Amino acid sequence: MNMDDALNTFVIEAKELLLSMEESLLDIERGSADDDTINAIFRAAHTIKGSAGLFGLDFVVSFTHVAESVLDKVRAGKLSLDGPMSSLMLDVCDHLSELISHVAKGEQPHARTASVSAELIIKLNAYLDVQKKEVAVAEPVPQDVHVERANGDAVLSDYWHISLRFGQDVLRNGMDPLSFIRYLGTLGRIASIYTITEGVPQLGTIDPETCYLGYEIAFDSDADKATIENVFEFVREDCRIRILPPHSKIAEFFKLIKELPEDEMRLGDILVKCGSLTASELELALRIQAGSGSKLNPIGEVLVEQGMVEAPVVQAALEKQKQVKENKSVEGSFIRVDSEKLDQLINLVGELIIAGAGTTLIAQRAGMPELVEATATMARMVEDVRDSALSLRMVQIGATFSRFQRVVRDVSKDLGKDIRLEISGADTELDKTVVEKIGDPLTHLVRNSIDHGIEAADVRVARGKPAHGTLKLNSYHDSGSIVIEVSDDGGGLNRDKILAKAIERGLVKSDQAMTDKEIYNLIFEAGFSTADAVSNLSGRGVGMDVVRRNIQALRGTVDIESELGKGATMRIRLPLTLAIIDGFLVGVGGSAYVVPLDMVIECIELPARSTVDGDSNYLNLRGEVLPYLRLRELFEVEDQAGRRENIVVVQYAGQKAGLVVDNLLGEFQTVIKPLGKVFSGVRGLGGFTILGSGDVALILDVPRLMQKADGHEQSTVAVVQ
């Protein structure tokens, strides 16, 4: 890992920590201020500060240090994390996010950013009754210099003792050992430091990329052990770290000497020079070691020798420790993978599917049973690989939903409303590409519900509702799609007001018959707004048209359900993935089309032409009226139709429709490829794919086709027995 990769990792992890910090602060505002939540906020700030220090990001370290000091007082019970402080900490989160953005861009903060930092530090310092003096960053001590304590013969050390042995690959991984020493100095005072050079080879054999150094440090600080350990978070796996607290017993230093690889007498001498041990204590430890013959472990021997515990107690502790180690479960491990690598994997799997389809076609034409069986086996394995690859890109939508806690909190506060957010279906999974692109449309819908949908508290009370409004985010799977609902218990959409505004703008005619659903969908027209006044949030008619356009770009749809005085629900339907799907291949003339398999209900034969009115676009499917479309007419296919036609019955959002085709060609793994800009305005097509023969098949956009089928006027109804 080079420094650029390490810095990118820091940026990603810092953003995740800030998101976690924000969620915890919002939880506290909602009344769940427990110790674990407060500790989580403190740890997030501390980790960001520590990591930033390793990269020399002083503008992040200096700002976060003040916030961390305030949070430390909260954690100690000296301050209360009330409403004003919670709001201030949310501002701190926002500003830290801005600072991290500067880091990601590789630039220093602008003058405006620095000004905001200064303003927030003044507000934070107001909570610190004692202004702490700044601690100078400790400079690295040359390896041939050591500092001895004046009271080196004291019975017990007042300092922390830190023993460091850096791994040989630390430099290759982009880490500077001295940067950790310098950052350690920000937490206290390095009383003495001794550089271990025993591992350094002859000058002619030194590898400049290999680290041979170790350190023994006496450290004076009020920080706790966890805080000191976090200094070395980035190299925890690449080095050996032992930290002994002040006033540690001889037994702990004895164990330290035994575990380190250097000569025991040499290490003992270094510990004495550091002031961590006295000469008499070192002599006692070595004497006990030389006379060891007990069945107890070395630590147990020392404890018994000094009369601190009885031998049976030590033995029982050893047995308990052994049992715990045997029963300890192995925790799951995770790795961070660049999203571009996942995209490349999906593309390769897509090409593999196309190549496999071509191999299957060749095997069928050759008529060799063994080859057909082998290609069928390969096709099953390719399908398993496809499912596994797609599952890597599936993420839960809960993280996206959680971000709206802050949106609801800020917008409702600006409007003077009390609005509570309820989230359900957070564990619903969908493709990460869809998750990344659905954020902006959801933000528009949420803000619109808060501003237009939910009434003010006095209006709600007058209508017999609770003073606080409720906004709900819900998601679930339905027929191979994911459904996302944004619901509120506000006043609902005013049908007559929307229609009057549409007539005024010339969008519809005054005598035009329209259903409630069609009238509600008028709010998605560009520039359409029923707001009486323009506010900072809405009223300009900009936003809802962008919502529909972005959702349609994801091959999705958005519908509205509303009841005047009770609330409204915006329902978004999206495909689970934008990459690879199971398709149903159909033929019309010499052309091939793909229907998403999860939308196919059944296939039936179209009744004979003698029993169907030529102008009819409906038939009776076992007592149910089924609208249908002829793909031949829709796409103007000029080839002669066959003697028999079939209907593929599809379902979407609870509605059914039929697609009339010539041939049913069976299931087909479909790699979705986007259409070019030239065809972006063509309705009814969602992309294309390449068949095993090399021919191109168009992928049908079933939701758009169903809307077109449902728009036909009903005349004669054919009967399917």
Cα–Cα distance for residue pair 380/376, rounded to 1 Å: 6
What band does 471 get if pLDDT is binned at 50, 70 and 90? Answer: very high
Cα–Cα distance for residue pair 181/193, rounded to 1 Å: 10
| Residue of higher predicted confidence among 2 and 663 | 663
3-class DSSP assignment, residue 478: strand
How far does CA 161 lie from the centroid of its chain? 39
Cα–Cα distance for residue pair 176/56, rounded to 1 Å: 11
What band does 58 get if pLDDT is binned at 50, 70 and 90? Answer: confident
Q: What is the CA radius of gyration of the chain?
A: 35
Tens of pLDDT along 667-690?
888 888 888 777 766 778 888 888
Cα–Cα distance for residue pair 457/412, rounded to 1 Å: 11
Average pLDDT over residues 99-123: 88
CA atoms within 13 A on the CB side of 457: 10
Same domain flag for 586 and 546: no
What does DSSP assign to residue 110? P
* Three-class SS of 514-569: CCHHHHHHHHHCCCCCCCCCCCCCCCCCCCHHHHHHHHHHCCCEEEEEEECCCEEE
- Whether residue 313 is contained in a domain is answered as no
Q: Which of 103, 125, 147 is the last residue of a domain?
A: 125
Q: Which of 575, 593, 623 is the last residue of a domain?
A: 575
Residue matched to tokens 């596994």: 388
Indicate the range of 13-22, 179-188, 420-429 predicted with least confidence. 179-188
Residue 394 has pLDDT above 80, yes or no: yes
Angle, in degrees to the nearest 10, between helices 35-54 and 58-75: 160
Task: Quote the pLDDT of residue 484.
Answer: 93
Average model confidence (pLDDT) for the chain? 78
Provide CB contacts within 8 A for 249, sequence distance 6+.
302, 303, 306, 308
Q: Distances in Å between the alpha carbon of 602 and those of 322, 573, 598, 605?
A: 62, 22, 11, 10
- Whether residue 374 is contained in a domain is answered as yes
Same domain flag for 555 and 618: no
Tens of pLDDT along 308-353?
555 665 565 556 555 544 544 444 456 777 778 888 888 888 888 8
CATH of the domain at 584: 2.40.50.180
Task: Quote the pLDDT of residue 486.
Answer: 93
CATH of the domain at 104: 1.20.120.160
> By C-alpha distance, which of 329, 379, 323 is closest to 669?
379
Tens of pLDDT along 488-516?
999 988 888 888 888 888 888 888 888 88
Task: Count other C-beta atoms under 10 Å from residue 508's C-beta.
Answer: 16
Same domain flag for 347 and 227: no
Indicate the range of 128-132, 486-490, 656-660 predicted with least confidence. 128-132
Handedness of CA 630, 633, 634, 636 (dihedral sign): positive
8 Å CB contact between 239 and 166: yes
Residue 541 has pLDDT above 50, yes or no: no
Residue matched to tokens 């049913």: 664
What band does 93 get if pLDDT is binned at 50, 70 and 90? Answer: very high
| Residue of higher predicted confidence among 123 and 56 | 123
The amino acid at 535: S
Cα–Cα distance for residue pair 659/248, rounded to 1 Å: 81
Strand (E) positions, 519-566? Answer: 557-563
Q: Is 40 exposed, middle or buried (0-12, 13-18, 19+ CB in 10 A)?
A: middle
Residue 719 has pLDDT above 70, yes or no: no
Cα–Cα distance for residue pair 415/490, rounded to 1 Å: 15
Cα–Cα distance for residue pair 549/570, rounded to 1 Å: 15
- Whether residue 19 is contained in a domain is answered as yes
Task: Quote the pLDDT of residue 294.
Answer: 42
What does DSSP assign to residue 592? E
The residues with which 422 forms a beta bridge, in sequence order, are 472
Same domain flag for 609 and 548: no
Same domain flag for 17 and 107: yes
Q: Distances in Å between the alpha carbon of 327 and those of 297, 320, 445, 613, 689?
A: 21, 11, 50, 76, 53
Give the containing element (helix H, strand E) for 13.
helix 3-29
Task: Quote the pLDDT of residue 328.
Answer: 44
> By C-alpha distance, which of 541, 432, 452, 543 is closest to 493?
452
Tens of pLDDT along 520-530?
888 888 777 66
Cα–Cα distance for residue pair 643/274, rounded to 1 Å: 98
Residue 97 has pLDDT above 70, yes or no: yes
What band does 269 get if pLDDT is binned at 50, 70 and 90? Answer: low
- Whether residue 143 is contained in a domain is answered as no
Tens of pLDDT along 30-49?
777 678 888 888 888 888 88
Q: Which of 393, 411, 438 is the last residue of a domain?
A: 393
Cα–Cα distance for residue pair 642/640, rounded to 1 Å: 7
Residue 470 has pLDDT above 90, yes or no: yes
Residue 250 has pLDDT above 70, yes or no: no
Cα–Cα distance for residue pair 293/593, rounded to 1 Å: 84
| Residue of higher predicted confidence among 499 and 137 | 499
Same domain flag for 412 and 530: yes
| Residue of higher predicted confidence among 146 and 373 | 373
Task: Quote the pLDDT of residue 275.
Answer: 62
> By C-alpha distance, which of 561, 708, 713, 549 is closest to 631?
708
Task: Quote the pLDDT of residue 649.
Answer: 93
Residue 473 has pLDDT above 90, yes or no: yes
Residue 164 has pLDDT above 70, yes or no: yes
Residue 584 has pLDDT above 60, yes or no: yes
Same domain flag for 376 and 479: no
How far does CA 370 lie from the centroid of its chain? 47
Same domain flag for 403 and 509: yes
Find which of 224-233, 265-274, 365-374, 685-694 is predicted with most confidence, using mean pLDDT.
365-374
8 Å CB contact between 428 and 397: yes
The amino acid at 141: V
- Whether residue 378 is contained in a domain is answered as yes
> By C-alpha distance, which of 209, 138, 124 is closest to 175?
209
Same domain flag for 566 and 706: no
Beta sheet of 663-671, edge-to-edge order: 663-671, 580-588, 591-596, 696-700, 685-690
- Whether residue 141 is contained in a domain is answered as no
8 Å CB contact between 530 and 602: no
Indicate the range of 10-24, 70-84, 126-140 predicted with least confidence. 126-140
Same domain flag for 379 and 444: no
Task: Specify the pairing of strand 663-671 against strand 481-488.
Answer: unpaired
Average pLDDT over residues 350-374: 87
The token pair that represents 537 in the structure block: 């949030």
Average pLDDT over residues 631-645: 81
What does DSSP assign to residue 243? E
Provide CB contacts within 8 A for 148, sequence distance 6+.
192, 273, 274, 275
% residues pLDDT > 90 (the chain): 11
Maximum Cα interatomic distance, the chain, rounded to a whole number of Å: 112
CATH of the domain at 479: 3.30.565.10
- Whether residue 132 is contained in a domain is answered as no
Please state the domain count of the chain. 5
Residue matched to tokens 């030389």: 290
Same domain flag for 666 and 708: yes
Provide CB contacts within 8 A for 23, sequence distance 6+.
402, 405
Indicate the range of 74-78, 490-494, 609-613 predicted with least confidence. 609-613
Could you give the angle at the alpha carbon of 581 between the alpha carbons of 579 and 583, nearest 5°? 140
Task: Quote the pLDDT of residue 157.
Answer: 62
- Whether residue 310 is contained in a domain is answered as no
Q: Provide the residue range defining the domain that includes 343.
A: 339-393
What band does 130 get if pLDDT is binned at 50, 70 and 90? Answer: very low
Indicate the range of 111-125, 153-167, 456-470, 619-633 predicted with least confidence. 153-167
Indicate the range of 85-89, 95-99, 545-549, 567-571 predicted with least confidence. 545-549
Give the containing element (helix H, strand E) for 527.
none
pTM: 0.61
Same domain flag for 360 and 272: no
